[in-house]
Amino acid sequence: RLTAAISSVSGHSALDEQASLALDAVLKSVSAALLESDVNVALVKRTRDRVKKQVLPQLEELQAKSTSANQDHDPLAGNKAKQLIHKAMQPVKGKSQVIMMVGLQGAGKTTTCTKLATHYQRRGLKVALVCADTFRAGAFDQLKQNATRAKVPFFGSYTETDPVSISLQGVQKFRAERFDVIIVDTSGRHRQETELFHEMEQIQDAVEPDMTVLVLDGAIGQAAEAQSRAFKEASNFGAIIVTKLDGHAKGGGAISAVAATSTPIIFLGVGEHLHDLEKFSPRPFVSKLLGMGDMQGLVERAQEMALADPARQENMMKKLEKGEFTVRDLKDQLQTVMNMGPLSNLTSMIPGMSDMLGGAGGEGEAARRMKRVAFIFDSMTTAELDSDGSMFRDDPKDKKAIEARDKDKKGKGKEVAAKSKGKENVSPAAGDSSDGDSDEA
């Protein structure tokens, strides 16, 4: 719909009434899409008026051609927003920088702390975590578990109940040990309460963070505006991270939070795992919101995965250069793709892909197919995995190979059956991988 509307504008060679009508149609479509994604109504209206004000005179001036994609006058990714993004802290080596996380309970602070720590650690910085959440039982255990998994040093206490004292102790300890980045995880409450804001201010006074980050649940939609305003007043945070933008959250509320507080979003949380953190940039974000894909994000995501296991990727490249590619390599690559997170994350980055897969149901089907193929790989013998796949053709001339395979399989069959029984998340569809799905593979 959008594409058709835009091309109807560019089809006009002079500014006539029709062009202006076509522009209205485009703006209407875009506005509808933004509203469907939970962007604030007033903000959509303002943006629409701004686009009109900017585009119409240009149309007049040029008496031709569409200007809908003018880079310098993008009202959503305006200059002010760009400057704000540059100002957001980019930690450097050799200086202890403290980042303090604030937000409501369940927003994703603790999860995001570890993601952020991993992100900086991969870039060669020495990072540590401090748990100042003494409010929720089990908070320290959660941080401890996450930090251990990510191999990030941490500080916290089971007995100390004063969050101010703990955060100060932790920050002082890691400052003395010359850590580059010290991330302080604070507690939240279910609602914005005076008590929480008071605690936040006290911690800020004690540890003097270089940057305070508001963690915002992407699923809260329109409520983002009021919530971010309240936190801005209490903590004057300098950056926002929006979480849970995987799955069904629309994320338009995030834009409202930025508009209400003039504060940039720096990262997005797109899953529960360590690597599910994406750098934020306005253009691809809006483009995704409008269902227009995000190829840049896809590339970054792929690079991030390669960064996670550089040795394996290099090994793969060497093999490919030599022209070797076995079933096992295919299996590894499939695993890498599956590790990149829910398929819906990836497909929404490729323009038109979600439509092609027929919305959520289609994506589910694609994920099921991938799982099926993974099960097929799991049930293969070593010889099959290390082959180039040609032995599956059952070439009668290759009797020996077939015999060897069948023999090998008999032994392995039991083992596989036992293994897949033990798996929890086997969907019914995945179970029938043996009966006739090899065509799909």
**What does the binding site for ligand GDP look like in residue numbers (CB under 6 A)?**
103, 105-111, 188, 215, 243-244, 246-247, 269-272, 276
DSSP state of 350: S
Cα three-residue angle 415-419-424, rounded to 5 degrees: 170
* Beta sheet of 277-279, edge-to-edge order: 154-155, 127-131, 181-185, 97-102, 211-217, 239-243, 265-269, 277-279
Coil, helix or strand at residue 86: helix
Work out how close the CB of 43 gets to Mg ion at its nearest, in angstroms, rounded to a whole number: 30
Work out how close the CB of 106 gets to ligand GDP at its nearest, in angstroms, rounded to a whole number: 5
| Nearest to ligand GDP of 106, 362 (CB atom) | 106
Pair 126, 183: CB distance under 8 Å: no
Task: Tell me which H or E stretch contains 151.
Answer: none
With CB under 5 to 8 Å by kind, the binding choice for 270 among Mg ion, ligand GDP, none is ligand GDP
Coil, helix or strand at residue 265: strand
Contacts with Mg ion in 88-127 (CB under 5 A)?
A: 109-110
CB-side neighbour CA atoms (13 Å) of 249: 23
Token look-up 């760009």 returns 82
| Nearest to ligand GDP of 2, 211 (CB atom) | 211
Work out how close the CB of 155 gets to ligand GDP at its nearest, in angstroms, rounded to a whole number: 16
| Nearest to ligand GDP of 278, 332 (CB atom) | 278
Pair 210, 88: CB distance under 8 Å: no
| Nearest to ligand GDP of 22, 241 (CB atom) | 241
Work out how close the CB of 107 gets to Mg ion at its nearest, in angstroms, rounded to a whole number: 8
With CB under 5 to 8 Å by kind, the binding choice for 264 among Mg ion, ligand GDP, none is none
Cα three-residue angle 82-88-93, rounded to 5 degrees: 135
Work out how close the CB of 242 gets to ligand GDP at its nearest, in angstroms, rounded to a whole number: 9
Work out how close the CB of 104 gets to ligand GDP at its nearest, in angstroms, rounded to a whole number: 7
| Nearest to ligand GDP of 177, 272 (CB atom) | 272
| Nearest to ligand GDP of 276, 332 (CB atom) | 276
Residue nearest to ligand GDP (CB): 269
DSSP state of 126: -
Distance of alpha carbon 313 from the chain centroid: 22
Round to whole Å and give the CA distance between 227 and 242. Answer: 13
With CB under 5 to 8 Å by kind, the binding choice for 341 among ligand GDP, Mg ion, none is none
The Cβ of residue 424 has, within 10 Å, a number of other Cβ atoms equal to: 4
| Nearest to ligand GDP of 281, 433 (CB atom) | 281
Q: How many residues bind Mg ion (CB under 5 A)?
A: 2
Work out how close the CB of 29 gets to ligand GDP at its nearest, in angstroms, rounded to a whole number: 29
Q: Summarize as ranges the residues that interact with Mg ion (CB under 5 A).
A: 109-110
